[in-house]
Structure 1
Amino acid sequence: MKTHYDLIAIGAGSAGLGVAIAMKRLGFDVLIIDRSDRRIGGDCLNDGCVPSKALIHVSRMIHNARRSGPFGWTMQGATDLGAVMQYVRERQDIIRTHENAAYLRDTEGLDVALGTARFVGRQEIEVTSEDGPPVRTSAKNIVLCTGSKPQLLKADGVEAVEVHTNETIFSLDRLPNRLLIVGAGPIAMEMGQAFARFGSQVTVVGQEDRILSKELPEVSALLQQRLEVEGITFRLGQQVTAFPDPHTARIESQNGTTETLPFDAVLVAVGRTASVRDLNLPAAGIELNDKGQIKLNDFLQTTNPHVFAAGDAAAGAPAGTRYFSHAAELHVSTLVTNLLTPGQVLDKKLSYDHFSWVTFTDPEVATFGLQEDELTKRNIRYERVVYDFAEDDRAVIEAYEYAKMILFTEPKGLNPFGTRLLGGTVIAPNAGELAQELILAVQKKLTVGDFFNKIYPYPTASRVNKSIWLDYVLDNLPGVVKRAVKWVY
């Protein structure tokens, strides 16, 4: 480790790896620090995206096999959760071959320090490892990429209960007969469906009146209906207040009534908190906001102009944050652009206007662009266009006619072909893939006419991206346009 660098990244998750590798490949001298070699890859590799999607993949295979009875196939037996988790670890290890200290040093040319980092000056860092004395170094700029931790459940008697978060749920090797999930967001829905498909009796307790509160109400309702068909029980508008014993939870509704629920294990998914505690931020002149988050400006810069934040650590940004790995990718893109721009006048502000996300349940929920509440808040005029997949041949073939697409567009004018897309949500199998074309349309300001001019192979699932506009255009052509077309004909 050198005494000075062009840039130091603290944390080797999605944000830290992104900014460190990008700056190194651009020719800068870069140091990346993480607590241990095993934690490189961050929450995404170790406790989040990778293991959860591997688990969902296995649960989907089991679910589809069990549904094959009407076609002459019979499947029996219990899920071997130990074997499932072994598959999950194998997938993680494959990705870990290029997310470890040796690879980063040998292939990317990065300096890597393993240990706990803390500020000892405005641009000076001290790294403490288990096998040596503390070592100090400094940099022109430092990026905090320390991630976040799951919020803990506060309830009487919780210390005597087997409580899991996303950091521990993948260590289970025996399937709980009864799984209680506290929280009704994306993690709760994804893990709840997966464990229900493995064979657990899943009950979801959420304080809000619906699941996925950041989605459109009709999308939340449709997904809840699909999950209830698979046997998941929902107790919404309620909260866990106590655990009378290690296998019983007391829940209280909004009107004050209480009841008890038996369980074998608990998964808590009630939110996340940025990890900034051990950094000794005051030594660098870095302030926190009233929520305990790092205070940032629109350029992800802290109150120390040489220190920035990215990924989950950037929760204090004026634009807010999104706890996704690809949000870290957006932060990295913004930071690298600005670090190479002379003077803040030309710097790019963080914006989520073109941001998208996917909840990987079955059906998936893909949301992108400006949503209805944001459009209303900004006084942007818009129209709502809805398409039910019951009209789509591919949906009929594969039995997902229940699916739905809800899009927000500019108000139509005399030429509906010139209308542009502002945002929307798709709830359907593989919605995350179906929506990619729509996401590009928002970013590149494509029009309805651009979709009309594309010929989709039949019967690809993505034909819905054109089908939604057929009735929209034909029903909204002004009479004067129709008369003009007829006259030309």
Structure 2
Amino acid sequence: MKQFDAIVIGSGQGGTPLAKKLAKAGWQTALIEKRAIGGTCINDGCTPTKAMIASAKAAYTIQNSASLGVFTQPAAVDIKKIVARKNEIVRSFRESSEKSLRETANLTLIEGEAFFSGKKLLTVNLRDGGTAALSADKIFLNVGATTNIPPVEGLKNVPYYTSTTLLDVEEIPRHLVILGGNYIGLEYGQMFKRFGSQVTILERSARILLHEDEDIAQSVKEILEQEDIHIHTNSSAQKIIQHPDHTLEITFTTNDTINIITASHLLVATGRTPQTAALQLHKTGVDMDDKGYIRVNDQLETNVPGIYALGDVKGGPAFTHISYNDYIILSENLLEHAGVSIKDRPVPYCMFTDPQLGRIGLTEQAAREKGYAVKVALISMDKVARAIETGQTQGCMKAVVNADTDELLGAAILGSEGGEVMSVLQMAMQGHITCKQLKKNVFAHPLYAESINNLFMKLDK
């Protein structure tokens, strides 16, 4: 049994900096990783998907450049080179992170899969064989989540892709069917449509993007449909079989209507599930909810003193930047006794379709449900000077305003560089800058952010 001051399980975007921070503070720290340094974000999440989305954007730009007076040959997409470029970026990020970890004093990197064998006791099945027994007073769980596989008849008997495995596809799918019309499914759908695939998306709910206002979700749907992406809402896959020619036959219902489509490739993007089963948390007494997410308090501590959870495994907003903020909260509380918490922290996020959807704060619907007196400012991107100049006029800017205080409650920016504009409004929210001040503020011309002036002028009408 080897004793440490701290053990971190999982080298994601919370676990890696936390392990380094504790080690640099003099704590004897172990970081355990079963797969690859960097977790989902670096290996099969943010980094690789955004690298490939950039290739899809380039192909789309070439194919649609005539409207800007630029004529060229149709874009030829080499999926193997796109994947190779993505792999090189991932390798660079991962190796840089691993090198930094191995050079950190007081930090032991252990490659293997950990599970609890007793109260704050861990056994690690080492990647190169054998086991190790570890213990620590402070243990941090950053094991993340994985693709949820729905109970569709025949699904387990046919080849299907997840958001991880589709990143290494060796051919452009002839017809990609996606189960799930949320953020991951929509990003992948547009990306592969731009690579040349026929794309069909099946969404069980009445509309895509249930966490967004209905008008924003409808705008996204219309933008994707303009690219000839077929989106079926109120649609649920019932049965999947594979034919001798390797095509997949998918039977699905839309309301009460039975439909059949054939696909060359199938992507399952029906949500994520926490990777807690293998941890054997019952042996150390950590509570989970009925979905397997670890319960934590506002300072990320579980019901067992000294055991903490950070990142996607604790439920709530599943974003890299939230995992990183979890690390900041834990390190400040443990090393500086700061007493900070996750309560009321901002939760910005961005969906990297083209155009992007940047979001912060409350939706209009949520604000009204909470009882706020609400004003809504809305401007179409075809009224934004920068968007007109660049030929990227799809989408809109929407702000939800507290009518009593004139401060922002939330914003949705569906447009080119929507995430960057959203971040400006996030800073305004955190600084309690009023909409009247934003309306009069001086922004550089001609930025997308400059239209924040025009957006809040809408409240005068």
Q: TM-score, length-normalised on structure 2? A: 0.93
Q: Within 5 Å, give how 1:220-239 maps onto structure 2.
A: 220-239=217-236
Tell me if the contact between 1:353 and 1:369 (Cα under 8 Å) persists in the aligned partners. Answer: no
1:420 and 2:407 correspond = yes
Tell me if the contact between 1:407 and 1:421 (Cα under 8 Å) persists in the aligned partners. Answer: yes
**Structure 1 counterpart of 2:443, one-letter code:** Y
Tell me if the contact between 2:223 and 2:394 (Cα under 8 Å) persists in the aligned partners. Answer: no
* 2:329 alignment partner, one of 334, 337, 347: 334
The offset of 1:114, in angstroms, is: 0.8
Q: Which residue of structure 2 lines up, in the alignment, with residue 250 of structure 1? A: 251
Deviations 1:165-206 (A, max 9, x none): 012011101111110011000110001000000000000011
CA RMSD of aligned residues (A): 2.0
* 2:352 alignment partner, one of 348, 360, 380: 360
Q: Within 5 Å, give how 1:332-411 maps onto structure 2.
A: 332-340=327-335, 347-351=339-343, 353-411=345-403
Larger radius of gyration: 1
Q: Which residue of structure 2 lines up, in the alignment, with residue 480 of structure 1? A: none
Moved over 4 A (4+): none
Find the aligned partners of 2:370 and 2:65 in 1 and give their Cα distance.
49
Find the aligned partners of 1:174 and 1:94 in 2 and give their Cα distance.
24
Q: How many residues align?
A: 456
**Structure 1 counterpart of 2:54, one-letter code:** H
The offset of 1:308, in angstroms, is: 0.8
Q: Which residue of structure 1 lines up, in the alignment, with residue 210 of structure 2? A: 213
Tell me if the contact between 2:20 and 2:104 (Cα under 8 Å) persists in the aligned partners. Answer: no
Change (3 A) 1:330 1:195: same
Q: Which residue of structure 2 lines up, in the alignment, with residue 156 of structure 1? A: 153
Q: Within 5 Å, give how 1:468-479 maps onto structure 2.
A: 468-473=455-460, 475=461
The offset of 1:73, in angstroms, is: 1.6
Q: Which residue of structure 2 lines up, in the alignment, with residue 96 of structure 1? A: 94
The offset of 1:403, in angstroms, is: 2.5
Find the aligned partners of 1:155 and 1:423 in 2 and give their Cα distance.
37
* 2:433 alignment partner, one of 446, 450, 462: 446
Find the aligned partners of 1:311 and 1:108 in 2 and give their Cα distance.
25
Change (3 A) 1:196 1:7: same
Change (3 A) 1:386 1:230: same
The offset of 1:471, in angstroms, is: 4.2
Find the aligned partners of 1:402 and 1:58 in 2 and give their Cα distance.
20
Q: Which residue of structure 1 lines up, in the alignment, with residue 319 of structure 2? A: 324
1:80 and 2:78 correspond = yes
Find the aligned partners of 2:219 and 2:146 in 1 and give their Cα distance.
30
Q: Which residue of structure 2 lines up, in the alignment, with residue 143 of structure 1? A: 140
The offset of 1:296, in angstroms, is: 2.4
Find the aligned partners of 1:430 and 1:457 in 2 and give their Cα distance.
15
* Stretches of structure 2 lacking an aligned partner (at least 5 in a row): none
Tell me if the contact between 1:386 and 1:407 (Cα under 8 Å) persists in the aligned partners. Answer: yes
Q: Which residue of structure 2 lines up, in the alignment, with residue 318 of structure 1? A: none
* 1:56 alignment partner, one of 53, 58, 62: 53
Deviations 1:22-43 (A, max 9, x none): 323334322111114xx11101
Tell me if the contact between 1:383 and 1:410 (Cα under 8 Å) persists in the aligned partners. Answer: yes
Taking only the aligned residue pairs, the percentage that are identical comes to 26
**Structure 2 counterpart of 1:11, one-letter code:** G
Find the aligned partners of 1:155 and 1:143 in 2 and give their Cα distance.
35
Find the aligned partners of 1:271 and 1:12 in 2 and give their Cα distance.
22
Deviations 1:251-300 (A, max 9, x none): 11222x21100100000100000001111212211122222322323332
Tell me if the contact between 1:354 and 1:442 (Cα under 8 Å) persists in the aligned partners. Answer: no
Tell me if the contact between 2:24 and 2:104 (Cα under 8 Å) persists in the aligned partners. Answer: no
Find the aligned partners of 1:366 and 1:472 in 2 and give their Cα distance.
21
Tell me if the contact between 1:354 and 1:370 (Cα under 8 Å) persists in the aligned partners. Answer: no
Find the aligned partners of 1:108 and 1:432 in 2 and give their Cα distance.
37
Change (3 A) 1:209 1:452: closer
Tell me if the contact between 1:122 and 1:304 (Cα under 8 Å) persists in the aligned partners. Answer: no
Find the aligned partners of 2:122 and 2:41 in 1 and give their Cα distance.
25
Find the aligned partners of 1:130 and 1:329 in 2 and give their Cα distance.
27
